[in-house]
Chains A and B, each alone.
Chain A
C-alpha cells in the first residue's frame, strides 16, 4: 500500500545532541513537508521541498536542517541549536507542489528532550 512512513515513532534527545527523523513516501509525490505541532497549537511549517535537491525554509526553520537527495525521502535533523525541540513532528507529501492539493500525513514522531 502507498503511504508515508515516519520513524521512529518516539525519540528521546539529550541536551546538545543532534537527532534525525526519517520520512519516506512511496506515493510518487513531488512535494514534501515537515511540520511541528505543540499542544493546543496548529501545525507550523519547518521546511518544505517541491522537487529533488531543492528545499525552502518554512516559518520556524531555525535549529533544523533537511535534505532531499531522493524523491522518496525527506529527513529532518533537529540540531542542538533548537532550544525547545519537544513536540510532535509530522511529515506530509502532496502530489503536486502547486496550490490546490491536500496533504497526506505520516503517523508522526514524538520527540522529547531528556
Chain B
C-alpha cells in the first residue's frame, strides 16, 4: 500500500521561529512532491513543489527532498501567526498518471 505519513501535530512554535514539517513516503520511485497549506474549513493551496534531491527555496519557505531516505520536509522561516494551518504533503503515484497521494497533514500553530 502506497502511503504518505506525517506527524499530525499540533506543532507549536513561537512567532519568528523556524517551523520544520516532515513527511515520509513509501513508494521509492515517486518523482514529484508537493506541499499544500490548508486553513480550517478551506481548500488546500499549493505552496511548494520539489522534484530533485536537495533544497528549494521560495521566500520564507524551503522544501527539502531526500529520495534515498524517502523523506521530504518543509521549513518555514520567521513563522507568523498567519502561517497557522494544516500542511499537507502530497506525492505522485508513479503510475504515469498525475494522481497525488496525500498525507493526513500536520497542524501548525504559531503563537505570538
- Which residues of chain A have a CB within 8 Å of any CB of chain B? 31, 33, 35, 40-45, 48, 50, 58, 90, 94, 96-108
Interface string of B90-101 (1 = CB under 8 A from A): 101111111111
Q: How far is the CA of A99 from the CA of B105 in the complex (A)?
A: 22
Quick check: B46 and A102 within 8 Å, CB to CB?
yes
Quick check: B96 and A99 within 8 Å, CB to CB?
yes
Chain B residues with CB below 8 A from A58, complex form: 99
- Which residues of chain B have a CB within 8 Å of any CB of chain A? 4, 8, 31-32, 34, 42-46, 49, 51, 88, 90, 92-105
A82 vs chain B, min Cβ distance (A): 20
**Main DSSP-derived SS at the A contact region:** loop
Q: How far is the CA of A44 from the CA of B64 in the complex (A)?
A: 25
Quick check: A97 and B98 within 8 Å, CB to CB?
yes
Quick check: A96 and B98 within 8 Å, CB to CB?
yes
Chain A residues with CB below 8 A from B4, complex form: 42
Quick check: A43 and B43 within 8 Å, CB to CB?
no
Quick check: A42 and B103 within 8 Å, CB to CB?
yes
Quick check: B8 and A102 within 8 Å, CB to CB?
no
Chain A residues with CB below 8 A from B97, complex form: 48, 50, 97-99
Q: How far is the CA of A50 from the CA of B94 in the complex (A)?
A: 15
Also in contact, A102 and B49, with CB within 8 A (given A48-B99, A97-B98): yes
B91 vs chain A, min Cβ distance (A): 10
Nearest 3 A/B pairs, CB to CB: A42-B102, A105-B43, A43-B102
Q: How far is the CA of A2 from the CA of B105 in the complex (A)?
A: 27
Chain B residues with CB below 8 A from A90, complex form: 43-44
Also in contact, A102 and B34, with CB within 8 A (given A40-B104, A41-B104): yes
Quick check: A101 and B98 within 8 Å, CB to CB?
yes
Quick check: B98 and A31 within 8 Å, CB to CB?
yes
